[in-house]
Copies of this chain bind each other. A is one copy, B any other.
Amino acid sequence: MAQPSSSAQPSRSAQPGETDAGGVDWRQRAVERSLDAARLRAEERAQRFLDAALQLTIEHQGTDFTVQDVVARSGQSLRSFYQYFESKQELLLAVFEEAMRASTEQLRAAVEAETDPAVRLRRFVVDLYASCARNPDPDAPATNAAVRAMADFAFRLAATDPDRLARGTGELYALALELVRAAQGQEADRAASARRTVILLQAVMFNAFATTGGRGRVSDAAEEMWTFCSQGIGVPAAPTAGRRRRA
């Protein structure tokens, strides 16, 4: 587990999700002020549920834990749970978004260690693949474990509500698009870049999630994926930098 609970970051945003937009200003401010203290407590509480769910997700390697488990783990009550989350689905969505956000940050950092655009993209693809892969390559921190474990949830989401999934992976997509554009050169058709970026992301993640590691190592599969994608996007294949497969 990364850093469960501990101090809940009061991240401002009105996450629990209701009165946020619209409203009469002065009245609103008044209410808000009187609610400020409460908000802190509230966020702290919501965060506790989130942390508990995150732990459980990782432990179970999936989302098949009960709401009761979450409640127990968080040391709070069922009542409270439904006060902060409309349903289990919402909770999972929050966990998922959180995990994706963290994972995106991590990827961004890794990518910034490179300079050549093509190498950056390559790094992105390979790392993303590794962080989504099922197999046990005990190398990446907890956030990745979470992403991996959310696979079933992500799939369900893809089936029932693709748009929501898209929103959840928005930052990742933005990063990917940025890298793709850089690697292609700005002359490429923007719309086409966007579409191919989506394809690339989906291909990488789905393949990583769904591939049971029968044959070779994860890194080999990731290489294959990179080859496929680089060509698919129209980037000069793998340039320099740390490649290591045989052949």
Q: How many residues of A contact B (CB 8 A)?
A: 37
Hey, which chain B residues are within 8 Å of A221, CB to CB?
195
Give chain A's interface secondary structure class.
Answer: helix
Q: Give the contacts of A175-203 with B (CB-CB under 8 A).
A: 192, 195-196, 198-200, 202-203
Q: Once the chains bind, are A158 and B209 in contact (CB under 8 Å)? A: yes
Check A160 for interface membership: any CB of B closer than 8 A. yes
CB proximity of A230 to chain B, nearest CB, Å? 8
**Residue ID in chain B nearest A150 by CB atoms:** B159
Q: In the complex, what distance in Å separates the CA atom of A57 from the CA atom of B62?
A: 26
Hey, which chain B residues are within 8 Å of A156, CB to CB?
152, 155-156, 159
Hey, which chain B residues are within 8 Å of A232, CB to CB?
227-229, 231-232
Q: Give the contacts of A218-234 with B (CB-CB under 8 A).
A: 221, 224-225, 227-229, 231-234
Q: Once the chains bind, are B202 and A207 in contact (CB under 8 Å)? A: yes
Hey, which chain B residues are within 8 Å of A228, CB to CB?
196, 199-200, 232-233
Instruction: Tell which of A134, A159, A221, A231 has the most Cβ of chain B within 10 Å.
Output: A159
CB proximity of A178 to chain B, nearest CB, Å? 19
**Can you list 20 A-B contacts with CB-CB less than 8 angstroms, sorted by A residue number?**
A62-B160, A155-B159, A156-B156, A158-B206, A158-B209, A159-B210, A162-B210, A162-B211, A166-B212, A196-B228, A198-B207, A202-B206, A203-B203, A206-B206, A228-B232, A229-B232, A231-B232, A231-B233, A231-B234, A232-B232
Give A residues with C-beta under 8 Å from B: 62, 134, 151-152, 155-156, 158-160, 162-163, 165-166, 192, 195-196, 198-200, 202-203, 206-207, 209-212, 221, 224-225, 227-229, 231-234
